[in-house]
Amino acid sequence: MRSRREVLKALGGLALAAPVLAQHQGQGAMGGAAPASAGAAMPARPIPWGDGQCAFCGMPIKTPEGQWRGRTFPQGFFEQTYSQIAFEKPRPAPHDPKRVVEALHFESIACMVNYAWVHGIRDGEGATFHVADRGAYDPARPQESVRLVPARQATYYWGERMMVVMNARLVAFADPAQARAFAERHREAHGRQRFLDFQTLWDLAPLPEMNLVALLAQHAGLLGGGDHGSH
């Protein structure tokens, strides 16, 4: 896990994080380059759609039906950015060391990267990061259409005004051509756009999203438990 000194340093630099992500050109991103140190990818684990919660922010990984915390979300809104860290060997569950888990589940790409950053988990070192392919996403069949791909192989699209969970502004594509087509379709609606690869996301971590300062502080042990998961 990151030391308190490291986390406090990151918290002090968060004011600069969003502009850096917005301006970064994502060199090599369209090739989906893997980090040089990444080991063999392990398969993804089953997704607990029924009661699964994000390991970073605590929100459900499945779009709630009807109103939730005073808001109603479009069908499949949460599922399009589902992400997972699959472990080579089971590990103690967060906040429940008596229980072991084979994977951790996240509602947002940024939640996964930020959790891994603060807890010192690296892709290819006893763990494989997976992301949902936005190109296969069907809001009419959200859970059935989720197709996971290794995060290191995906192309990431950042849209300044794109609305996704936790306002992370990130979606992933298995096919770079689909990422380019998606960007073209939403050029006017999303404003500034960027393509990035996974190594770039990791280099920029912690990634901007809603309630990031409180969530990083909580996971680093600087704060007690609390409800930091609203959008």
- pLDDT at position 106, please? 98
Which has the closest alpha carbon to 198: 121, 129, 137, 135? Answer: 129
- pTM given for the model: 0.85
Q: Which residue has the higher pLDDT, 23 or 33?
A: 23
Give the pLDDT confidence of 149-205 residue by residue, as tens digits.
Answer: 999 999 999 999 999 999 999 999 999 999 999 999 999 999 999 999 999 999 999
CA 64 vs CA 103, 110, 158, 228: distances in Å: 22, 20, 25, 17
* Residue whose C-alpha is closest to residue 110's, from 19, 172, 51, 44: 172
Burial class of residue 166 in the structure, from the number of CB atoms within 10 Å of its CB (0-12 exposed, 13-18 middle, 19+ buried): buried
- Predicted local distance difference test score (pLDDT) of residue 9: 59
**In the chain, where the domains are located:** 4-219
Provide the β-strand partners of residue 86: 103, 128
